[in-house]
Structure 1
Amino acid sequence: MLATTIAGVFSITAAAVFSFTLLSKMVERMVSLSVGIMLSTSFLHALPEAFESKADPRSLFATLLAGLLCFFMLEKLAILRHSHHHEGDGHHHAHGHDKHEAGRSGWMILIGDGMHNFTDGILIAAAFLANPELGIVTGLAIIAHEIPQEIGDFIVLLNAGFTRKRAYVFNLLCSLMAVAGGLLGYYTLDRASGLIPYVLVFAASGFIYIAVSDLMPQMQRRATVKESVPQVLMIGLGVIIVLFLTAGH
């Protein structure tokens, strides 16, 4: 419990410091960085780890499909709620409307992040049961992996219209899912370890859907060369960060 709590609080706080100070004036551009981080985390880390397990590949692909459809339906519900709230109000939504529309991606990324933290908690519990030293190393590795991912999450939440305080509090609450995962892993490790690949795939499906469905279309609205070059460079930087921090894991 101590390891999962420290890993969550430290990574969230460190990411908040970077996001709110160094990156606060570059939120729109840093959306590109979060796309690179989320896609590379999903395709180069979470999904390979899941498919290297003994789980049936067909079942994992089915979980990936179910996850994408699930997040599609969550987005549909968010759109319907948004439309119902504003219909017939007599106001135009040109100014700031993009942030209202982006808000649904903020809530979805919190759900995906909670699932991911839950899995991290299970992994930390498994490592501690195998060897306390391995547990400490695993916790440190997860912190190193979480910080760039959480920076991406904060960027998305700020872009979606969350205040700094609100983004920090909600991300901190999501980090408590690691404690829940750690407790579940400790008491029902055999059963929970078999679920790890599926939870990883489901979490990855959320990040993939958010990046491809919500964030990339935002970026495509700025199609000039002047805007596109920094976008591509920032996506590449996100990929490099994840490759560097997960090298050897």
Structure 2
Amino acid sequence: MTQPVLLAFYAGAILVAALAGGALPLLGNARRNDAFLSFSAGVMLGAAFFHMLPEAVESAGMASVPFVLLGFLFLFLLERFVLVHVCAEPGPAALEVLASEAAAPPPHPHPHVHGHGEPCEGTGCAVHTVGLAAFVGLSLHTMIDGFALGAASTERALGFLVFLAILAHKVPSSFSLSAILRAEGYSRRRALAMNAAFSLTVPLGAALYLALRDLLHTERFTAFALAASSGTFLHLALSDILPDLHRRGESKLKLSAALLTGVVLMWALRFVTHEH
């Protein structure tokens, strides 16, 4: 199976999973699963430390390590300017506030819901902006995931593991996006369509990697891309997902177990893939 075909298969699977995750808030009173979100953070940490970064160092040596910081800072700056968190999902109190504001906008900004990074009551996370801005911000994140998937897919086993890491994160991300869109009054059909468009940025990111690889013609580009992608995974897990979970007040034991399960799974898969 050629790399473009493999990438198309991965992108299709991510699209289906994201649509399923995005459909859950549209079916009734479904709530996001924080344990699964914590598990996805563990998978991303394990993918970065046990697979992506070691592969980059093996291919390009220590010269690839600074690109981890580059990827981390790139995603940090992206979030600072796009002003949306991947983890942002309005809590029950925030949903009530948004619904009431949609029905009767107040004459002055509500003290709990802002568009510039102030905490929103009930979220356990700073909801910087909602609706269309959330869609744009999450789509940019997803494009970066697609870039990481394209870089990792040069090695079949590594590509599969990065695919698993992205898949584990896309389901809760799609759930959060649908929750935000519904809270703003978007129809179910439109929220689902926007989730599909959000997921389609994965192949766009993978195509971006392929285009840059062919344009630059350097043997170490894939190694540097993998190192930078591991930095984005670290930022996503450590700066977005886990801080949000710490603030939500869920069972510490359950979330810690889910996180460690994801890390251990990726550690164990290292031995399976090295056998091939």
Residues 148-227 of structure 1 aligned to structure 2 (within 5 Å): 148-159=165-176, 161=180, 163-182=191-210, 191-223=217-249, 227=251
Q: Is the 8 A contact 2:71 2:228 kept in 1?
A: yes
1:135 maps to none
Runs of 4+ more than 6 Å apart = none
* Secondary structure, counterpart of 1:230 in structure 2: helix
Give the deviation of 1:232 after TM superposition.
Answer: 0.4
* Secondary structure, counterpart of 1:43 in structure 2: helix
1:60 maps to 64
Residue identity matched to 1:109: H
Q: 1:105 & 1:34 partners in 2: Cα distance?
A: 19
Q: 2:14 & 2:238 partners in 1: Cα distance?
A: 25
Two-structure CA RMSD over aligned residues (Å):
3.4
1:46 maps to 52
Q: Is the 8 A contact 2:14 2:199 kept in 1?
A: no
Q: Which residue, out of 4, 9, 16, partners 1:6? A: 9
1:119 maps to 151
Q: Which structure ranks higher in relative contact order (CA pairs < 8 Å, sequence separation ≥ 6)?
A: 1
Q: Which residue, out of 64, 80, 91, partners 2:110? A: 91
Q: 2:83 & 2:211 partners in 1: Cα distance?
A: 35
Residue identity matched to 1:210: L
Give the deviation of 1:164 after TM superposition.
Answer: 4.9
Closer/same/farther in 2, CA of residues 157 and 34 from structure 1, 3 Å limit? same
2:100 maps to none
**TM-score normalised by the chain length of structure 1:** 0.70
Closer/same/farther in 2, CA of residues 44 and 192 from structure 1, 3 Å limit? same
**TM-score normalised by the chain length of structure 2:** 0.64
1:109 aligns with 2:113: no
Q: Which residue, out of 70, 73, 76, partners 1:69? A: 73
Q: 2:23 & 2:70 partners in 1: Cα distance?
A: 35
Q: How many residues align?
A: 219
1:146 aligns with 2:163: yes
Q: Is the 8 A contact 1:105 1:214 kept in 2?
A: no
Q: 2:15 & 2:152 partners in 1: Cα distance?
A: 14
Q: Which residue, out of 224, 234, 237, partners 2:258? A: 234
Structure 2: give runs of 5+ residues left out of the alignment: 25-29, 85-106, 114-119, 182-190
Higher helix share: 1
Structure 1: give runs of 5+ residues left out of the alignment: 81-87, 125-137
Q: Is the 8 A contact 2:20 2:171 kept in 1?
A: no
Q: Which residue, out of 122, 127, 131, partners 1:100? A: 127
Closer/same/farther in 2, CA of residues 237 and 168 from structure 1, 3 Å limit? farther
Q: 2:14 & 2:170 partners in 1: Cα distance?
A: 12
Give the deviation of 1:203 after TM superposition.
Answer: 0.9
* Secondary structure, counterpart of 1:193 in structure 2: coil
Deviations, residues 18-66 of structure 1 (Å, cap 9, x unaligned) = 7856xx644333221121111111111101111111x241x32221222
* Overall identity of the aligned pairs, in %: 20
Q: 2:42 & 2:221 partners in 1: Cα distance?
A: 27
Residue identity matched to 2:5: L
Q: Is the 8 A contact 2:148 2:162 kept in 1?
A: no
Q: 1:218 & 1:105 partners in 2: Cα distance?
A: 17
